Amino acid sequence: MAKRVSLSGNEAVAFGMKQINPDVVAAFPITPSTEVPQYFSQFVANGQVDTEFVPVESEHSAMSACIGAAAAGGRVMTATASAGLALMWEMLYVGASMRTPMVLAVTNRALSGPINIHNDHSDTMGARDSGWIQLYSESAQEAYDNLIQAVRIGEHKDVQLPVMVCYDGFITSHAVENLEMLDDADVKKFVGEKRVAPFALLGGDPISMGPLDLPNHYFEHKRLQAEAMKNAKNVILEVAAEYEKLTGRKYSFFEEYKMEDAEAAIVVINSTAGTAKYVIDNLRAQGKKVGLIKIRVFRPFPAEEIAKALKNVKAVAIMDKADSFSAAGGPLFNEVRSAMYGIADGKIVTNYIYGLGGRDVTSVNIEKVYSDLFSAIETGKYEVYNYLGVRE
Amino acid sequence: MPNLKELSAKKVRLTGGHRMCAGCGAPMVVNWVLKALKDDERAVIANATGCLEVSTCLYPYTAWKDSWIHTAFENAAATGSGAEAAYRALKRKGVIDGKYKFIAFGGDGGTYDIGIQSLSGAMERGHDLLYVCYDNGAYMNTGIQRSSATPMGADTTTSPAGKVKPGKQQYRKDLTEVMVSHHIPYVAQTVPAIPGTQYMFDLYNKAEKAFSIEGPKFMNVLTPCPRGWRCDTATELEVIKAAVDTCFWPLYEVENGVYKINYIPKEKKPITEWLKPQGRFRHLFKPENEHIIKMIQEEVDRRWERLLHLANVK
């Protein structure tokens, strides 16, 4: 029997980790993700899990130890944020290319400089091409649900890739929400037992991992890695369908909110979707045809599916909680607009960089985006690149 | 301790056919360390990026008979500690059986410099891991750049001997002592097997002792690199011998804080015997650089005296 609980996002993730009971958790503290290893080490200290907790001296070593543990054949998890993720950078690529499945909870936080501890997506957006699957979460419930599904997705034989589960720092990581938690036994059954594969360091037969790969093989290995990411799309949907049977909660690549007849839509990631839904409900009450696409799966990027979902809108605003300093829009904007080409042509497509470094995003901000979109539809005049909620 | 005949009969765990340079000391070090494993013990080896790594495991080939992993330059200790943590968890859960030993190999660049943080962390956390540094005193793989293990005065590509600066300006970091300060159960400094010396089995003995101790262990092995040292491959073990006899590289071990010098030369040779056969020190023998040799001698003497004191040798 699932139970209703009140937990912060970090607590929900830590409790999820407890239920998964991984073999190794290696972590280094960084705000606002610190609570995850903190709660988890208490579970270890109390004997509530039989995990080896490795309190490493840096995030670089956290990721290195996780790769070593996963290569050995263990089920492995960790958590980090911001500069911690940046310090893992080199190893993110190694973990993905070595095809070591593991789950990394990231509480999204701005990257230096200047140093800032609050939420935006500059950390994980920067890691978007590291070869990791990326799942984003609007709420503590979604962070918990994504964490459990991530284990199955990454370990699937056709995927064998590490997975990031992202949720907004402080907004989701620290705010207490009501959510539904599965029974320990159901989680155990859902994630299953990780058996040490013969092609692991401890698999019985000796194996060499992480060789020097010269031009005659490297490209093929990268191509296989890319194929695994393509395979992940089906696996993500399969795992979501099975999870829905267990919980009644439906997950896909993205959530469509009131998109059936929407003329103006926004595309957004993580907690801002909650604010946007509130605004949509209000605007709908005034008869305005507005909708939302909330991205859950950013890697692999569901390009065609998103484009199809935007086929009937007149105008769309893509919201980036990270700048890319390309002078040509944020990362999500570039991906969505590119996805629309040839599938959803002739639309008004705009970009809003918002909420950097924890700048509050209010319903008034979101209303402005919709109002801009309607004005663009009426007049045909609009700015493509916009900054929302910044003092100019 | 087995005799040479018995040791020769032990199976080789790093096969021939790898691509190390002729005369490289690193595979010699690896083979003698792995000889100290018991036949029923399997090994999981974490290898830092470097000569040993790129030359022994070129896809799709491997020279390693044991499980081996390379992830990056600075993290052999962290990678190895993760594998060791997984072993403990999986053993406890009854998922795996068999005896495994965990070993990390790194050169001086990956150990003294970029890897020192992860090495220090792994040792402090107490993983059951033996870290072996093969110290050839420079970043040999990338073209002989200076490391913090490079001896004073050495001509390297980033501490070149020029008109104003005669090679490396600083004394080498004493990493063995840094590791002693971690108060781990076992720290040793040694050299590869040199036939005909009293310390021919020093490396083997120390590896065997290290494997018998549970917890973190560190071994620092002065390892010849004919390319970087600019010495004749055939004479490299003589050069290593000179390092020991001049007390540039004393053979000693520290077990639970207790120092033991394993070899005290009857007659301490002048440092020139270590410097002379190596082309990287050739410029020091010009008249205008005599004072540098004097400084190097003084520093070697100072460190040796300190070691004698720590080992309580009267």
Going by C-alpha positions, the residue among A71, A98, A325 that lies closest to residue A196 is A71
Chain B residues within an 8 Å CB radius of A47: none
Q: DSSP letters along A311-337, please? A: TT-SEEEEEESS---SSS--HHHHHHH
CA dist B202 and A111 (Å) reads 50
Question: Which among B71, B88, B121 has CB closest to A210?
Answer: B71
Reduced to 3 DSSP states, what percent helix, strand and coil does chain B have, rounded to the nearest 5?
A: 40, 15, 45
Is the complex ipTM more than 0.95? yes
CA angle B247, B251, B254 (to 5 degrees): 125
> If chain A, 392 residues long, is cut into consecutive pieces of 10 residues, what is the mean pLDDT of each piece?
94 98 98 98 97 98 98 98 98 98 98 97 98 98 98 98 98 98 98 92 96 98 98 98 98 98 98 98 98 98 98 98 97 98 97 98 98 98 98 94
Q: Are A347 and A317 in contact (CB under 8 A)?
A: no
How would you label B34-51 residue by residue, b for 16+ Cβ within 10 Å and e otherwise?
Answer: bbbbeeeebbbbbbbbbb
Q: What average pLDDT does chain B have?
A: 97
Angle at B269 between CA B263 and CA B274, to 5 degrees: 95
Q: Which residues of A touch B68 (CB under 8 A)?
A: 206-209
Contact A61 B117 (CB under 8 A): yes
In angstroms, what separates the C-alpha of B8 from chain A's closest C-alpha?
22
Sort out which chain A residues have CB atoms less than 8 A from B42's CB and list them. Answer: 206
A202/B67 Cβ within 8 A: yes
Closest Cα in chain A, distance from residue B66 (Å):
5
How does DSSP assign A263-298, residue by residue?
SEEEEEETTHHHHHHHHHHHHHHTT--EEEEEESEE
- Whether the CB of B83 is below 8 Å from some CB of chain A: the reply is yes
The residue type at B209: K
Per-residue pLDDT, B146: 98
Tokens read off for B155: 């001509």
Q: d(Cα A136, Cα A236) in Å, to the nearest integer?
A: 13
Report residue B269 CA to chain centroid gap.
22
Q: Find out whether B151 and B172 touch, Cβ atoms under 8 Å.
A: yes
Residues 6+ apart with CB under 8 A from A47: none
Q: Which residue of B has its CA nearest to A53?
A: B85
Give the pLDDT band (50/70/90) at residue B33: very high
Task: Verify cis geometry, omega within 30 degrees of 0, for the bond prior to A114.
Answer: yes
Is the CB of A56 less than 8 angstroms away from the CB of B85? no
pLDDT tens, position by position, B130-184:
999 999 999 999 999 999 999 999 999 999 999 999 999 999 999 999 999 999 9
Confidence of residue B4 (pLDDT cuts 50, 70, 90): confident
Q: How far is A23 from chain B (nearest CA, A)?
A: 6
- Beta-carbon separation of A58 and B120 below 8 A: no
- d(CA A54, CA A56) in angstroms, rounded, equals 6
Residues of chain B neighbouring A94 (CB-CB closer than 8 A):
71-72
Using a CB-CB distance cutoff of 8 angstroms, which residues of chain A are in contact with residue B86? 23-24, 52, 68-70, 72-74, 76, 202
State the residue for tokens 């030993």.
B101
Q: Which of B42, B54, B121 lies at the smallest CB-CB distance from A212?
A: B54
Give per-residue pLDDT as tens, B70-96: 999 999 999 999 999 999 999 999 999
E-strand stretches of chain A: 3-8, 24-26, 52-54, 76-80, 103-108, 133-137, 163-168, 176-181, 208-209, 254-257, 264-269, 290-295, 297-299, 315-320, 348-354, 385-388
pLDDT band at B1 (very low <50, low <70, confident <90, very high): low
Residues of A in contact with B53 (CB under 8 A): 212
Cβ-Cβ contacts under 8 Å between A and B: the total is 162
Residues on A contacting B at a C-beta cutoff of 8 Å: 23-24, 26, 50-52, 54-58, 60-61, 64-74, 76, 90-91, 94, 98, 195-196, 201-202, 204, 206-214, 217
**B96 shares contact with chain A (CB less than 8 Å):** yes
pLDDT computed for residue B40 by the predictor: 94
Q: Which of A20, A43, A52, A93 to mutate to test the interface with B (most CBs of B within 10 A)?
A: A52
CB contact under 8 A, B85 and A201: no
DSSP letter for B270, please: P
Share of chain B above pLDDT 90, in %: 96
**Contacts of residue B124 in chain A, CB cutoff 8 Å?**
57
B109 touches chain A (CB under 8 A): no
* Helix, strand or coil, per DSSP, at residue A77: strand
- Phi/psi for A81 (5° steps) reads -160, 155
Which residue, B275, B261, B273, is CA-closest to B305? Answer: B261
Whether B64 and chain A come into contact, CB under 8 Å, resolves to yes
C-alpha to C-alpha distance for B69 and B52, rounded to whole angstroms: 12
pLDDT for position B76 = 98
Cβ of residue B86 closer than 8 Å to a chain A Cβ: yes
Question: Measured between beta carbons, which residues in chain B are less than 8 angstroms from residue A98?
Answer: 71
CA distance A242 to A294: 21
Question: H-type helices in chain B, by residue range?
Answer: 4-9, 26-35, 51-56, 76-92, 108, 116-125, 175-180, 202-212, 226-229, 236-245, 272-275, 290-310
- Residue in A61, A66, A206 nearest the CB of B121: A61
| Mutate: best of A21, A24, A41, partner B, most B CBs <10 A | A24
Yes or no, beta carbons of B82 and A214 under 8 Å apart? no
Q: How far apart are CA B57 and CA A67, in angstroms?
A: 18
Å between B52 CA and nearest CA of chain A: 11
Residue A251: partners with Cβ closer than 8 Å, 6 or more residues away: A145, A146, A149, A240, A243, A244, A296
C-alpha torsion angle, residues B62, B65, B71, B73 (rounded to 10): -90
**Closest approach of A221 to chain B, Cα-based (Å):** 11
B68 at the A interface (CB within 8 A)? Answer: yes
Pairwise CB contact (< 8 Å): B86 & A195 = no
In chain B, residues with a C-beta closer than 8 Å to the C-beta of A217 are 59-60
Residues in chain A: 392
- pLDDT tens digits, one per residue of B171-198: 999 999 999 999 999 999 999 999 999 9
Residue B46: phi and psi, rounded to 5, are: -105, 130
Q: Is B306 on the interface with A (CB under 8 A)?
A: no
- Considering only CA atoms, which of B208, B172, B174 is closest in space to residue B189? B174
Measured in angstroms, the CA of B50 and the nearest CA of chain A are apart by 10
Interface check for B11 against chain A (CB to CB < 8 A): the answer is no
Dihedral of CA A201/A206/A212/A216: which sign? negative
Nearest chain A residue to B65 by CA distance is: A206
B124 touches chain A (CB under 8 A): yes
**Binary contact (A211, B66; C-beta < 8 A):** no
User: Is the per-residue pLDDT at B2 higher than 80?
Assistant: no
CA torsion angle A133 A135 A136 A142 (round to 10): -160
Please name the amino acid found at residue A16.
Answer: G
Cis (ω within 30 of 0) for the bond into A32? yes
Which residue, among B34, B59, B124, would best test binding to A if mutated, counting the most A CBs under 10 Å from its CB? B59
